[in-house]
Amino acid sequence: MLDPGRGRTKTGQLWAYARDDRPWSGTAPPAVAYVYAPGRGSEHPLAHLQGFAGVLQVDGYAAYGVLTKQGVTLAYCWSHCRRRFYELAAGGRAPVAAAALARIAKLYEIEAEIRGSSAAARQLARQLRTKPLVEAFKVWLDGQSLAASRASPLAEAITYALKHWQGLTRFLADGRIEIDSNTVERAIKPLTLTRKNSLFAGSDGGAAAWARMASLIETCRLNAINPQHYLADILTRLAAGHPATKLDALLPWTWVKARIPDG
């Protein structure tokens, strides 16, 4: 962002919170909300999620840990766990990392098969098929941790997995939880591209406005709505005096239902 008075820019943060229940046939519409904050400290997600007591799927960033004190259950991301082994295997001559990737790949194969099934069906499949693989992987990781050099990248990858094991295995007992946080990772990519094209926000207020507009645009895309058509219509309605007490009618999923003829 521009930093008036200092002749330079400063860095802010857009936090992304996404929901997509389609993998377990949930009925809630997919959505993403971006919230601007001036930094990456734990005080920001604490404020954003005040009053929330559900499951939050995250990467290993330490700032999320404090959320457990206010009733948030953390589920960790297998994609981030996998990435550490992938980076080692990509360099070649890393048989242990390659073996870890093969084991994780089996988990993803099962997930691909059960995607779109009900939460109950996903939970059952994970208990019967995935849980034994995960338990065997844990035993294998424990053994590899004893053999790996403490200061090696391999040891770091193994330590990351073991440190976050409880959260990594949380998806086994709840069919609503995904195996990874790719829902929000996909939601971050458009902002990254926009950031490169826009260069900077003009102020804290501008960054907050950017977050609100991006929330509407990306939520439209998640619901297969043309953002330009949506924004043109709701802005016209607001300018014409749409009542503030009925803003729910302008949310993307409500708006698109109202435009679909019955039958």
* Tens-digit pLDDT profile for residues 79-121: 999 999 999 999 888 999 999 999 999 999 999 999 999 999 9
- How far is 124 from 175, CA to CA, in rounded Å? 8
- Alpha helices of 71-181 — where are they, by DSSP H? 78-90, 95-114, 119-125, 131-147, 153-163, 165-168
What is the chain's length? 263
- How far is 210 from 7, CA to CA, in rounded Å? 22
**Tell me: the pLDDT tens digits for 199-257?**
778 888 889 999 999 999 999 999 999 999 999 999 999 999 999 999 999 999 999 99
Q: Which residue has the tokens 């849980």?
A: 131
| pTM (two decimals) | 0.89
- How far is 128 from 22, CA to CA, in rounded Å? 22
